[in-house]
Amino acid sequence: MPRFSYFAALLAAASTVHAQTSTTCQPLNKTCPPDVALGTTHTWNFSSNSILDSTWNITNGAVDYTDNAMKFSIKKKMDSPTIQSNFYIFFGRMEYHVQAAPGQGVISSVVLESDDLDEIDWEWIGSENTQVQSNYFGKGETIAGTGLTHNLTGATTTDAYHNYTTWWDKDKLEWWYDGNLLRTLTYDNATNSSGTWYPQTPMTIRIGIWPGGDPSQPEGRIIWAGGKIDYDAGPYSMYISQISAQDFTTGKEYSYSDHSGNWQSINVTAGNSTISDKLNTKHETLAQKWANLAPGAKIAIYACVGGVLGIGLIVLLFCCVKQRRIGKREWNIQNNRFMQERTDMMNMQAEWRQKGYVEMK
C-alpha cells in the first residue's frame, strides 16, 4: 500500500492545512529544544463534561463533544480537525477507544509522530467498515510493504467503539485490536541496507479525520481512500471516548545527543515532568470533576439533590399556607375593628342629631 500520511495528503489541496507528517525542528539536521516528557501513565475520558485539558492542543479545525466522546467531523470541503499531545512518549503503550467515521473517501487516523518523522499509524477507510490498516515509517521516508490491511471478522469499525492498542518498545512494535494481536514488527525486521527503519525516537500523539477522497487529491490517493467523497452526504464523524498513554521512560525531558536518530542517542533528563505534575495535581473544573465521578456517586448526588429540593418545596408550601392563615386572621381583626369603629361613629352621629333636634325645639 502506498503511503498516505495524515495531513501530508492535504498539502496539494489546501495551503491553510498543516501537514501531520511535519516537524517544527528536524533533529537529524540541527540541535533542537528538548521534548517535554509524559513520564507517567494517564487516561483521558472525553465527553461534553470533560473536555481537552492543557496537555493537548487542537492543531487544525475544531472538535465537538457528545455525552461520552470527543467528535471529529468533516462538515464541509477540506475539513480536517486534529488534536496533538503537548507531551512526548519514549516507548510506551497507547490505547485508543475509537469509533471510526463512515463514508467513501473519509479517513480516520491515530498517529504517533516524532520530531525526526518516525511514525506509527492506525488508519480507517470509511467505506471499509470491517477493516483497519496499520503502518509505520522511519525518518519520514517511504518504503513498500510497511502498511498492512487487517480484516476484522464480525466487527464493524464505524458503528461501535473498539480498543486499538499500540505496544512500542526498543525491540518490537505491536498493533492490538480488542485484545487480539494483529501484527508484530521487530527492530531487526524493520531494517534494510540503507539503515534502520524502526520507529525509535520520542513521539507525540496525533488524532483526527481528513477527506482523502477530495477531488483535488491525486488519483491513487482517491482510490486508496475508497473513492471521491460526497460532502453533501455528510457530515462524517469519528469519535474518541478514551485515550490511555503509558510512557515507558520516566524523566522530565527527552533530547537528541547527535543527528543519528537512533534510540541510544536520546538523552533523558531526570526529574518530574511538568506534564506529569500537571496531571497529578488535578486542578479540575467542576465539569471535569463531575465527569470523573462514578455512576453510583452521580445517582447518590441526584437523590440527595432531589431530596433537598423536595424538602425545600414542602417547607415553602408550609410557609405559604401558614402566612396565608396569619394574613387572613390579621385581615379579619382589622376588618372587625373597622366595622366596630364605623358602628360607633354612626351611633355618635345619630346621638348628635338627636341632641340638636331637642335643643332647637
List active site positions: 119, 123
CA–CA distance, 206 with 20 (Å, rounded to integer): 8
Cβ-based neighbours of 209, under 8 Å, separated by 6 or more: 72, 73, 74, 79, 80, 81, 101, 106, 107, 108, 109, 236, 237, 238
Cell numbers given for 133: 490498516
Residue carrying the nine cell digits 540503507: 194
At 349, which amino acid appears?
Answer: Q
CB 7 within 8 A of CB 80: yes
- H helix or E strand, kind and range, residue 107: strand 107-114
Q: H helices within 33-106, ranges in order?
A: none
Would you report the helix, strand and coil content of the chain in percent, each value rounded to 5? Answer: 25, 30, 40
